[in-house]
Amino acid sequence: MARRRPLIAGNWKMFNTGPQAAELASRLRSLVSDVTHVDIMVAPPFTALGIVAEILKGSAIRLGGQNLFWEPEGAYTGEVSARMLKAAGCSHVIIGHSERRQYFGETNASVNWKIKAALLGDLIPVMCVGESDAEREADQTFSVVQQQLEEGIKGLGADEVQGFTIAYEPVWAIGTGKTATEDQAQEVHEFIRARIEAACGNSIANDLRILYGGSVKPGNIAGLMAMDDIDGALVGGASLDAESFAAIVRGSLDA
């Protein structure tokens, strides 16, 4: 089976004003202008999407939103729709990030609604799943991830799941400096692919890109990417430095 084309995605979280985001995007564009064998996506804050879209226009770097609401429009103060993200230049949207689940009440049900809205809006969902430290210690990793997967894709056909990207992000490894070992990450990625195969068939599971997220750095990307079922990374803190993020992009080719 041919190796899936890697995707390295940068989640800028709640960092960077418009000018700061513009500087970061411009520097990153320059640093990876010669990269042709890796897909790259960045997800700036909503307020910087427009300016970053302009800077990335004509480049191979794709733009993503960090979240969206499940309704197409309406009296939902503070929310952003799929259509708004698409109009701003986005091709992707991150859904169900652990910080959304932890701080803003995101549930498996709301993840499912948002995924359906993203697909209707012609956006590629990057659905995040992952267990907490307590859940891993209680040997609940697979049951937690399975429930998140099953409820996240509930009611979707195999053809819809075909357009997905899934990101496994162990909550205990996000922003902590801890990283799952290569074998730990591979074990969960392999499990995710098997669950998608059971739900949607072998072909869709084989083509599905599953990213690892959790303190990804230039020093550990090659080892992670050497695993059979790790197809890229959802990068947090290290994506806020253009040189560091570019090094991760290039390191993904060294596996």
**For 198-245, how does the pLDDT look when each residue is reduced to its tens digit (9 = 90+)?**
999 999 999 999 999 988 999 999 999 999 999 999 999 999 999 999
pTM (two decimals): 0.96
Distance CA 177, CA 159 (A): 37
Residue 246 lies in a domain: no
Residue 1 lies in a domain: no
Identity at 118, one-letter amino acid code: A
Model confidence at 2, in pLDDT bands (50, 70, 90)? Answer: low
Task: Note down the domain range covering 18.
Answer: 7-178+191-234
Three-class SS state of 184: helix
How many domains does the chain divide into? 1
Active site residue 169: yes
Model confidence at 1, in pLDDT bands (50, 70, 90)? Answer: very low
Task: Please tell me which residue in 92, 106, 169, 189 is annotated as part of the active site.
Answer: 169
Identify the CATH number of the domain in which residue 174 sits: 3.20.20.70
Residue 245 lies in a domain: no
Task: Please tell me which residue in 97, 99, 131, 135 is annotated as part of the active site.
Answer: 97
Residue 251 lies in a domain: no
Q: Find out whether 131 and 140 touch, Cβ atoms under 8 Å.
A: yes
Percent of the chain with pLDDT over 90: 90
Is the pLDDT score of 25 beyond 90? yes
Residue 162 lies in a domain: yes
